[in-house]
A = this chain, B = another copy of it.
Amino acid sequence: MANDKKLVESITSMDEDFAQWYTDVCVKAELMSYSSVKGCMIFKPHGYAIWENIQREMDARFKATGVENVYMPMFIPESLLQKEKDHVEGFAPEVAWVTHGGLEPLQERLVVRPTSETLFCDFYKDEVHSYRDLPKVYNQWCSVVRWEKETRPFLRSREFLWQEGHTAHATAQEAEERTVQMLNLYADFCAEVLAIPVVKGRKTDKEKFAGAEATYTIESLMKDGKALQSGTSHNFGDGFAKAFGIQYTDKDNKLSYVHQTSWGTTTRLIGAVIMVHGDESGLVLPPKIAPVQVMVIPIQQKKEGVLDTANNIFEDLKACGLRTRLDDSDKSPGWKFSEAEMRGVAVRVEIGPKDMEAGQCVLVRRDTREKIVCPISEVASKAQELMDAMQHDMLERATEYLNNHITDAHDYDEFKEAVATKPGFIRGMWCEDEACEIKIKEDTTATSRCMPFEQESISDVCVCCGKPAKKLVYWGKAY
């Protein structure tokens, strides 16, 4: 058995060094690999399969709300990027520049898209003429590039995969409704598919998107107590429309500017799943996105009938639609168990000669390690039941963790004490002066995560400066 433990021992303990535990899991669970291209990562099959499952589930939810997918060019001419002032200032310092095509220098430099607001605006300018052409509710799945200095797998890399929705509406109200609708869609997706509860709210002006009137965010909480911005939805008002000249004639033949939104989530969601659910043995994946939901592992597989029975169980599970594999390799069962745990297989099924005699097999849940003895004939329905239970319980546990890691601070001493000793979100009132956000960050490294939609007053004064408070804010250290 000593040998079987090697795989688990190959990852650092999360208590000892959470950051190293994270990196170890990314590599040992074979989610990704580093590449020769500095700051860019390789999505290996197991990591990419999680993204495919996320895409399929999220895309279906998009389409149910009337979203249509498109694909825009990956290059943006420099002059187009510069049309909206705040936007170019926000992105120009961190883009990759294409200067040559073939053997010739380009007449105008091109940016590899860091985000595609400018391309969609340029497109809508030609597509939108009348109120009949509205709304436009488009999305694309693609990769984007931002020239980051420090990178970490899934959380921050020079190229990452994402979806970006871009919409144009006749009225300000419709744009605001779509902005909130998509934020809620993201929050529901995180809870129902990723088993991750989130805090929802509005970003402060300091933290909002370059060019937006308002940015809404979902923030999730990792097991080390740090927050992770997990999706954002922006209301642009008519700022981009004015910069790009996107106008339409309404029913009364009057010319108006459109109102726009954009919203995005990225492969960073995979990082969130790892850090919300993972444990000392590796990945724990919610069944809805686990590439392998059930792994059948035969014990003493050379004994007569074991492999045949294991194969029958495998076929039963597959037939009921579960993503199933059979591990009939020549590794030891203990090694196979460790490997399945490391990779976040939701349930493993053990079947050996003794089980066969009793007409049963053993199911082991990845999250609780609970062992369930089950008649072979009922394995498929039992496994299906465990998928539902695991999906449900994982959200429940993560919600309990989140609720237990929110601390209220009423003055600056309490605030600093909380940042230093209590991992998680800190709720504190704010005067709306950016100077306090800056001071808090300098003193504690915590930043304003969001102003929650459900505002309440826990004190009359700003947690930092003591002046009259205007907003309740969730603060925290963040990725």
- A contacts, CB < 8 Å to B: 33, 35-37, 40-45, 48-49, 51-52, 68-77, 80, 93-103, 110, 112, 119, 122-123, 126-127, 138, 142-143, 145, 147, 158-159, 161
- A94 and chain B: residue at smallest CB distance: B102
Max count, chain B CB within 10 A of own CB: residue among A48, A49, A94, A161? A48
Known: A97-B98, A100-B97, A103-B93. A143 touches B74 (CB 8 A): yes
- Say how far A169's CB is from chain B's closest CB, in angstroms: 17
Chain B contacts for A147, CB-based, 8 A: 101-102
Residues of B within 8 A of A101 (CB): 96-97, 147, 158
Cα A71 to Cα B35 with chains together (Å): 11
Q: Is the CB of A70 within 8 A of B43?
A: yes
Distance of A259 Cα from B40 Cα, bound (Å): 27
Are A112 and B98 neighbours in the complex by a CB distance under 8 Å?
yes
Taken together as a complex, chains A and B put the C-alpha atoms of A44 and B72 apart, in Å, by 9
Distance in angstroms from A324 CB to nearest chain B CB is 14
| Chain B residues within 8 Å of A138, by CB | 45
Inter-chain contact A36/B122, CB cutoff 8 Å: yes
Q: Is the CB of A99 within 8 A of B100?
A: yes
Name 17 extra pairs, CB < 8 A, besides A74-B74, A97-B101, A98-B98: A35-B119, A35-B122, A35-B123, A36-B77, A36-B119, A37-B110, A37-B119, A41-B73, A42-B73, A45-B68, A48-B71, A51-B71, A71-B161, A75-B159, A94-B102, A96-B100, A96-B110
Considering the complex, give the chain B residue whose CB is closest to the CB of A108. Answer: B38
Of B36, B69, B93, B145, the residue contacting A49 (CB under 8 A) is B69
Residues of B within 8 A of A93 (CB): 102-103
Q: Which residue of B lies closest to A137 (CB)?
A: B45
Complex copy number for this chain = 2
Residue of B whose beta carbon sits closest to that of A99? B99
Give the nearest-CB partner of A329 in chain B.
B132
Q: Which residue of B lies closest to A100 (CB)?
A: B97
A70 pairs with B98, CB closer than 8 A: no
Q: Which of B48, B77, B95 makes the CB contact (< 8 A) with A37?
A: B77
Cα distance A109–B40 in the bound complex, in angstroms: 15
CB atoms of B69 and A37 under 8 A apart: no
How many whole Å from A105's CB to the nearest CB in chain B?
A: 9
Complex CA gap A23/B100 in Å reads 29
Bound complex: CA A243 to CA B101 (Å): 26
Closest chain B CB from A63 CB (angstroms): 10
Chain B nearest CB, measured from A79 CB (Å): 9
* Complex contact B42–A69 (CB within 8 A): no
**Can you report 27 residue pairs joining A to B where beta carbons are below 8 Å apart?**
A35-B72, A35-B123, A36-B77, A36-B119, A37-B110, A40-B73, A41-B73, A42-B73, A42-B123, A43-B72, A45-B68, A48-B69, A49-B69, A52-B69, A71-B161, A74-B112, A74-B145, A93-B103, A94-B102, A95-B102, A96-B98, A97-B98, A97-B99, A98-B99, A98-B112, A112-B112, A142-B143
Which residues of B sit under 8 angstroms from A49, Cβ to Cβ? 68-69
Chain B residues in 8 Å Cβ range of A71? 42-43, 48, 51, 143, 161
Partner of A42, one of B48, B72, B80, B100: B72
- How far apart are the CA atoms of A147 and B100 in the complex, in Å? 10
Assuming the contacts A98-B97, A98-B98, A100-B97, asked whether A74 and B123 have C-beta atoms less than 8 A apart, the reply is no
Chain B minimum-CB-distance residue to A95: B102
A99 to B76, CA, bound (A): 15
Q: Residues of B contacting A36 with CB < 8 Å?
A: 77, 80, 119, 122
Give the chain B neighbours of A73 by CB distance below 8 A: 35, 37, 40-42, 159
Smallest distance from the beta carbon of A123 to chain B beta carbons, Å? 6
**A73, B70: Cα distance in complex, Å:** 22
Q: What residues of B have a CB within 8 angstroms of the CB of A43 in the complex?
A: 70-72
Kindly state the separation between the CA atoms of A40 and B71 in the bound complex, as whole angstroms.
Answer: 11
Residue of B nearest to A291 (CB): B68
Instruction: Collect the chain B residues with CB atoms within 8 Å of residue A37's CB.
Output: 73, 75-77, 110, 119
A419 to B255, CA, bound (A): 56
State in angstroms the CA–CA spacing of A159 and B101 once bound together. 12
Set of chain B residues within 8 Å of A142, measured between Cβ atoms: 143
Chain B contacts for A112, CB-based, 8 A = 74, 98, 112
Q: Which residue of B lies closest to A104 (CB)?
A: B147
Chain B minimum-CB-distance residue to A37: B73
| A106 shortest CB reach to chain B, Å | 9
Nearest residue (CB) in B for A40 is: B73
Best-buried of A94, A96, A103 by chain B (most CB within 10 Å)? A96
